[in-house]
Structure 1
Amino acid sequence: MSNKLYVGNLSFDTTEMDLQDTFAEAGTVSEATLMQDKFTGKSRGFGFVTMSSSEEAQKAIDLFHGKTVQGRALTVNEARPREERGGGGGGSRSFGGNRSGGQGKRY
């Protein structure tokens, strides 16, 4: 088992320090990260916690999966590796109209 955990259904008021303090009940937290919207900076309601051992990670799952924290039942499980995304590619950059640079058709 990996030491990195996915933590979902977090309150939008949860801070990284809250996350770290909560999971410290299960053992030593190496890292706690909240995912934030890149435009607003607000929490996206999920994050990742890395425990110092796989045993502590399992203990954290046992302790916190389904537990209500700040009014929300947490989802806690082993984090999956990030999936590779395709390299962009979508669609044409044409904005319509005449590409010749002229004034278009004259009638």
Structure 2
Amino acid sequence: GFDNWDAQWADATKDAGTALYDFVVMNPPFHVGRADAASLGQDFIRAAAKALKTGGQLWLVANRHLPYEQVLGECFKAHEMLEDAGGYKIIRAEKPKRKR
């Protein structure tokens, strides 16, 4: 179990705040109304990269067809697909790239 943890809510479409986190776990939305909007999930990934500590990790689950790998490569030094089954993928990304 985890004894020392804290959960935070943040609107990823806006600034995620100034705190830096060890982990972000997400299942980003990809609909605006009834229309697909993969860019919404991509914005969530960018916000997570900004909110993570230097060695932090993002864990995300998403529908297999969503195009998140390119933005993961832009925002993180490493990412890997841990599972791809049943129409879903689970991805871990780590070490966010920092804008200078």
TM-score normalised by the chain length of structure 2: 0.30
Larger relative CO (CA 8 A, sep 6+): 1 or 2?
1
Q: Give the greater-gyration-radius structure (CA).
A: 1
